Amino acid sequence: MARDFVTLVSGVPRSGTSLMMQMLGAGGFPLLTDGLREPDEHNPRGYFEFEAAKRTLRDTSWLAQALGRAVKLVHALVASLPDAYPYRVILLRRPLGQVVASQRAMLARFGGVEGVLPDARLSEIFAAQLADLERWAEGQPRVTLLGVETERLVADPAAVASEVAAFLGGELDEAAMAGAYEPSLWHQRD
């Protein structure tokens, strides 16, 4: 199936974007990743990142490679994309308390929790950024956004797999997508 759009898997860090990329890959959707960031205890199946996407503010030439594929892009960079392509954005929404707890656990592993904003302030910033992103997307004729609540994803991966497959035009293995979710890997629940 020809897909004449760029699929962006987005959200705040630690919101489930790697899981969504796993699901898409399992379902047969082509991914744009480079494997540079190695799996670790926080994401034992990998991060599914594409390093060039992290430099989007300076260089968007990587987008030509993303046409017809899914690429992970942090929420704060989505609105900086050029109008050159149609985009389908899968926006992961995880409860911000869980996001912050997961980030703290990850930062603690690397010894970097000093100087981090208080949890409540970080949650406020993320909430405002996500609201801005959704408002921006509503006003963009070349952007279609599907919000995915991660609590619903982990409770009913088959239903979410079906919705995501339909959003991307169908022809994906929804059972394989749902099967990519591994409950033992989902940490930092409220």
Cβ(15)–Cβ(93) below 8 Å: yes
The answer as to whether 185 is a domain residue is: no
- What long-range pairs does 168-174 form, CB within 8 A, spacing at least 24? 168/3, 168/7, 168/24, 168/29, 168/88, 169/1, 169/3, 170/1, 171/1, 171/28, 172/24, 172/27, 172/28, 172/29, 173/26, 173/27, 173/28, 174/27
The answer as to whether 144 is a domain residue is: yes
Q: What is the maximal distance between C-alpha atoms in the chain?
A: 48
Number of domains in the chain: 1
> In terms of pTM, does the model score above 0.85?
yes
Domain of residue 79, residue span? 6-179
pLDDT of residue 156: 96
Angle between helices 17-26 and 157-167 (to 10 degrees): 70
- The segments of the chain whose pLDDT lies below 50 read 188-190
Question: Domain of 107: which CATH number?
Answer: 3.40.50.300
184: its two tokens: 């033992």
Residues listed for the chain = 190
Cβ neighbours of residue 112 closer than 8 Å, sequence gap 6 or more? none
The answer as to whether 1 is a domain residue is: no
